[in-house]
Structure 1
């Protein structure tokens, strides 16, 4: 009996922003009629499904999830008072993920017996786990980069100990202070296994990061491997699935009642916990600005998000009552792509994680940048200095300082109610038109995705 021809195996890194992007990519590749298998621990497969944002439920149903046994790991709470905002509470989980190598290798060998070709698409931080793909004759692997081309280039040349060889803003954030020694060591483990990859995928659009894509395609970085810039990989039509909680509907219903471009959306992603003192300053800054706001106030994730013991951050007494009609505070998981796509949303106070940036770019929403760790400081430079679709709330060099209410108030007024803010918004809308067109039939990113699909199905009439 003839074997089915190609299967794609997704191996995500267990952190929300990474799980999310590989879920989006899974649905995209599946739309070409290729079976896609999403591989991870039971906890993280469940997390990926529970937190599906904007994806169509029927598309997710087509993905095959495979739970790999993972050793138990400590799941401590985040420390909101730490001056260093890197999510060290997730390190035990990441260390535990290294033990997936053997069961993943066994799974890949099993799949290689069932399909003519097995294509592994893995996060760059999972190279150690998938490295045995190199010993399977009918298997090949591709790295999916969950960061901007700019951040990847900044980090790559930083690790080489060389200056970025093209024109760039004077001050670039170095890795120092962005990450911990532990995650740097974790990265270092990936370097040799990364050499086994057959190519690179990027969740960016070549039209907005051309110079940085060219840098990453240089022979000294990519070798003879091909790169595909296929982003943004958000679905063209965002779904409002029936699995949404009441609060999700509430915040979107609240936005329905507001004027176009009148609301600032405030969210710091899944890996940042603000101190009580900073929460108070942010609350007062929002109140004093008189700008309408939707504020997602949640603690950073623990390794196991299903462990219900979560800190409930305190707001100033009577705050929600005082801002009734002007602002809304959401404490649950929020449908961010739908919020950013809403016509009432006119700005985004963001930590500048790449999911948030690429969603904001796609929806044409200008950003008030407040980077916290990892690639966020370099993403914030990309947004403010290179793409010119945002401004800083707080620059990276001032990361240890408390951001005062007066600073927040001032930035919100500039972004939401000034000529400068209007110009930034116009620029954001122009970029949105560019990347939206790029993902449509015949567009730059769609052509690169088609090229990748042709490459992995080469020699097959799929």
Structure 2
């Protein structure tokens, strides 16, 4: 009975608003997270009905890990679970020299079988709303292709990567030389080896269906990447697609978030201002025992305060399988007890970065982590692992100049020594150069946060997108 009432209320709200928005994320944490943030932003700010469509396990993953989002906003999102074929969910290979998360490939392959179910759902919504607006990940273009057959539906790609990375990839794919300063061009990391052949093939299979879209949305801001938005518009001019830079889409005021009762935040409350290095490598990085030992020694030898989130990379289904027990050097946690905290569970990253005690972030430079760090004004010690992370780290360190490199992308298969880690940590957290980087990061963070307020560039872009889809 409850389900019938709930469905009636959803239908009633859809009809009242006339426009229904359907989010179709790619099943990887950084993608699930950004589309859920966007869903909550649109639902709470514009009171439009928003549907979040994916497999039951990935919808659950998005909800459970919803950092920085208000539970009451998540409660307004209509999650629609689509039956997904069973897929293998192997553990990550933590000894692999290449850090690409190949263990996720079976779950990505399974997600390519959702076209019919998504089409059926869209047809149902289409019959009840004046317009259906599908916002989807680039890598889900194949699955939403039937938007074309619906008279009142249109689709938009939401790009989960930086505009800089997208500009570089698009330029290279069409054979256009990059419009970068000559000195920057010399330092630009190679795009060779950033992904596996399997993911490259999956990406290529989406290309025939990408032109269906009516425009592109970016989780970035003109104040961060204005120059690259202009360059991207030049490269994509023949496509005649509208562009909106509406980021950062994460909440920028985190005072009222439910995560306040958290051991990380409690510990940070006791530390001096800007004194703590936050260390986290996201959900797709696994370190070998030797790499963890070097990292632990480097942090200890730096004698700087740190909060280290020590977790293995995700499986395709994060709710199955035993987590690996990652061993630290004997006595390490006891020796660093006064200055360090090691956390082995999910951590509230945006809130940690927003905390006044956090003064730096050692990161793999996934775009989620970059945009969160930039927004909160925290400088980055960059250690890229795969995919877009090398170009993001270049953007952060060479273009925006709000970070430094811990490990060069070209040396990605080499062991990073404790002394290299120690030096990088000291430079960021306890040197004049680090202070200058931090000052630039704090100034940029302030400008970025202002861009999301009334009259700011990102808020204007978001209002423009909403006005366009509700026209």
Relative to structure 1, the CA distance from residue 69 to residue 239 in structure 2 (aligned partners, 3 Å threshold; closer, same or farther) is farther
Aligned equivalent of 1:50 = 64
Aligned to 1:433: 446
Question: What is aligned with 1:100?
Answer: 114
**What TM-score does the superposition give when structure 1 sets the normalisation length?**
0.96
1:310-355 superposed Cα distances (whole Å, 9 cap, x missing partner): 1121100111011101100000000000000000000000000000
The Cα offsets for residues 184-212 of structure 1, whole Å up to 9 and x where unpaired, read as: 00000111100000000000001221121
SS in 2 for 1:208: helix
Alignment-derived partner of residue 7 in structure 2: none
State the alpha-carbon separation in 2 of the partners of residues 354 and 220 from structure 1: 21
- 2:4 corresponds in structure 1 to none
Question: Could you tell me which of 151, 160, 169 is aligned with 1:137?
Answer: 151
Match of 2:350 in 1: 337
Q: Equivalent of 2:103, from 65, 81, 89?
A: 89
Is residue 397 from structure 1 mapped to residue 440 from structure 2 by the alignment? no
Q: Distance in 1 between matches of 2:122 and 2:71?
A: 27
TM-superposed deviation, 1:119: 0.1
Contact 1:216-1:222 at 8 Å conserved across structures: no
Tell me if 1:302 matches 2:315.
yes
Deviation at 1:3, TM superposition (A): 4.1
**Distance across 1 between alignment mates of 2:15 and 2:442:** 47
Give the direction of change, closer, same or farther, for the CA distance of 1:354–1:63 in structure 2 (3 Å limit).
same
Report if aligned partners of 2:293, 2:329 keep a CA contact under 8 Å in 1.
yes
- Residue 39 of structure 2 corresponds to which residue in structure 1? 26
Equivalent residue number for residue 454 of structure 1 = 467
Matched residues in 1 for 2:313 and 2:255: separation?
Answer: 25
Shift of 1:166: 3.6
Structure 2: distance between partners of 1:289 and 1:330: 19
Indicate the SS of the match to 1:346.
strand
2:428 is aligned to 415
C-alpha contact (below 8 Å) 2:170/2:235 kept by paired residues: no
Choose which of 358, 363, 371 in structure 2 pairs with 1:358: 371
Listed one character per residue, the Cα deviations across residues 239-295 of structure 1 (whole Å, up to 9, x for unaligned) are 6654x59xx711111100000011000000000001110100000000000000000
Structure 1 residue 217, shift from structure 2 partner: 1.4
1:123 Cα deviation after fit: 0.6
SS in 2 for 1:372: coil
**Aligned equivalents of 1:137 and 1:229: distance in 2?**
27
Is the counterpart of residue 188 in structure 1 residue 201 in structure 2? Answer: no
**Is 1:317 aligned to 2:330, yes or no?**
yes
Query: SS where residue 52 of structure 2 aligns?
Result: strand
Distance 2:179 2:200 in 1: 23
TM-score by length of 2: 0.94
Distance 1:376 1:39 in 2: 27
Q: 1:18·1:123 contact (CA, 8 Å) conserved in 2?
A: yes
- Residue 443 of structure 1 is matched in structure 2 by 456
Assess, with a 3 A threshold, how the Cα gap between structure 1 residues 220 and 241 changes in structure 2: closer, same or farther.
closer
Partners of 2:274 and 2:360 within 8 A in 1: yes
After TM superposition, give the deviation of residue 177 of structure 1 in Å.
1.1
Among candidates 105, 113, 122, match of residue 127 of structure 2: 113
Whole-angstrom CA distance in 1 between matches of 2:327 and 2:344: 11
* Greater share of helix: 2
Q: Secondary structure at the match of 1:216?
A: helix
Unaligned runs of 5+ in 2: 1-11
Does the CA-based 8 Å contact 1:347-1:366 persist in structure 2? Answer: yes
Tell me, yes or no, if the aligned pair for 1:41 and 1:68 is still in contact at 8 Å.
yes
Secondary structure of the residue aligned to 1:175 is coil
Does residue 1:234 correspond to 2:250, yes or no? yes
Cα distance, 1:219–1:378 mapped onto 2, change above 3 Å: closer
- The corresponding residue for 2:390 is 377
Q: Tell me how far apart the structure 1 counterparts of residues 206 and 230 of structure 2 sit (CA, whole Å).
A: 23
Give the deviation of 1:222 after TM superposition. Answer: 5.9
1:22-42 CA distance string (max 9 Å, x none):
011001111201100000000
**Structure 1 residues 137 and 208 mapped into 2: Cα distance closer, same or farther (>3 Å)?**
same
Q: Secondary structure at the match of 2:279?
A: strand
* Partner residue in 2 for 1:327: 340
Equivalent pair of 2:94/2:287 in contact (CA under 8 Å)? yes
Aligned to 2:80: 66
Displacement after TM superposition at 1:135 (Å): 1.0
| 8 Å contact kept, 1:369–1:394 | yes
Secondary structure at the counterpart of residue 359 of structure 2: strand
Distance in 2, matches of 1:330 and 1:169, equals 39
- 1-side partners of 2:116 and 2:190: how far apart? 35
Aligned partners of 2:237 and 2:385: how far apart in 1? 28
* Secondary structure of the corresponding residue to residue 37 of structure 1: strand
For 1:20 and 1:296, locate their aligned partners in 2 and report how far apart those are by CA, in whole Å.
Answer: 18
Deviation of 1:392 after TM superposition, in Å, equals 0.3
Counterpart mapping for 1:168-247 below 5 A: 168-218=184-234, 220=236, 223-238=239-254, 241-242=257-258, 244=259
**TM-superposed deviation, 1:426:** 0.5
1:278 aligns with 2:291: yes
